Amino acid sequence: MNLESIPILYKDDRYVIINKPAGLVVHPDGKTNEPTLVDWIIKNFPETEGVGEPIVLTNGGTILRPGIVHRIDRETTGALVIARTAEAHAYLKERFQTREVSKCYHAFVFGEIKEEEGVIDRPIGRSRKDFRMWSAQRGAKGTMRDAVTEYKVVERSKDFSFIEAYPKTGRTHQIRVHFKAINHPVVCDKLYAPKRDCALGFGRVALHAYSIEFTDALGKIISVKAPYPKDFEDAVKNFKESCQRESSMLD
């Protein structure tokens, strides 16, 4: 993973928004030793070192999360905000908690979603099958936390749907778990759809954090869109062309 090639989409005295590449974990997990986004943050924005809330491990160790207010999964690409000051971190954390941060994800899911738009309102708990997984289905264990994802279908074929998803809550793996729960798992999601072959040119989960918008403490609206990485760009182009051909054959 080349930490030098992380694109900065927005920067001011309080926030930095990056376009996270696939394969990069946001912060260490205390178990493996690999480059993380935290390494890049500390190197490029050393003032963030004391910003944020570290994770305290059961063995007494700590994992630093400088400037981290929210996360996106290792294989997911796209817009991620880093707070540069303690005040900015506290402010944005509260905006996330009060659901005043608007996020839009683009994803390819298996199957044809018939509805133009919808809402998945299903609490999420731990999976009983695998400690790495979460579940929005009957039989989940532990505390069930409310989770809401709105979505609309951009393009569809008989085998796949290209969607926009708007998570209103911030649960771990929320979009992946919710679409698995309605039998439309995200393409190439090896954790939640392990028996399905990857498709559409993806070798990783077909999920991209496309945009994020919030109002800062000074009343300024910060709105950023993250350009697609090549695999996603190619998939969108090829899928739309394929759907157009399919539609013209039916006319």
Q: Is 73 annotated in the active site?
A: yes
Better pLDDT: 244 or 218: 218
Q: Which helix (H) or strand (E) holds 239?
A: helix 230-250
Average pLDDT of the segment spanning 30-57:
82
Q: Which of 12, 29, 73, 159 is catalytic?
A: 73
**Average pLDDT along the chain:** 91
Closest Cα partner for 82 from 131, 119, 115, 45?
A: 45
CB atoms within 10 A of CB 189: 27
Query: Is 209:20 a contact under the CB 8 Å cutoff?
Result: yes
Average pLDDT of the segment spanning 72-79:
95
Whole-number pLDDT of residue 29? 62
Residue 3 pLDDT class (50, 70, 90 cuts): low
- Decide yes or no: CATH 3.50.50.60 for domain 100-209+228-251: no
Cα distance between residue 204 and residue 75, in whole Å: 6
The structure tokens listed for 65 are 């999360």
Rounded to the nearest angstrom, the gap between the alpha carbon of residue 66 and the centroid of all alpha carbons in its chain is 19
Q: Where are the beta strands (DSSP E) in 35-147?
A: 55-56, 62-63, 77-83, 102-110, 117-121, 124-126, 134-135, 141-145
Q: 78: buried, middle or exposed (CB in 10 Å: 19+, 13-18, 0-12)?
A: buried
Q: Which amino acid is at 97?
A: Q
Topology annotation, domain 1-98 = Pseudouridine synthase (3.30.2350)
pTM: 0.91
Q: Which helix (H) or strand (E) holds 190?
A: none
Query: 56-60, 104-108, 234-238: which range is least confident on average?
Result: 56-60
Give 97-113 as a DSSP string: HTT--EEEEEEEEES--
For the stretch 79-123, pLDDT in tens is 999 999 999 999 999 999 999 999 999 999 999 999 999 999 999
For the stretch 161-170, pLDDT in tens is 999 999 999 9
Cα distance between residue 80 and residue 76, in whole Å: 11
Q: Which amino acid is at 154?
A: V
Query: Is 180:213 a contact under the CB 8 Å cutoff?
Result: no
Cα distance between residue 75 and residue 101, in whole Å: 22
Sign of CA dihedral 119, 123, 129, 131: positive
Domain with CATH 3.30.2350.10 in the chain: 1-98, 100-209+228-251
Average pLDDT of the segment spanning 42-61:
79
Residue 251 pLDDT class (50, 70, 90 cuts): low
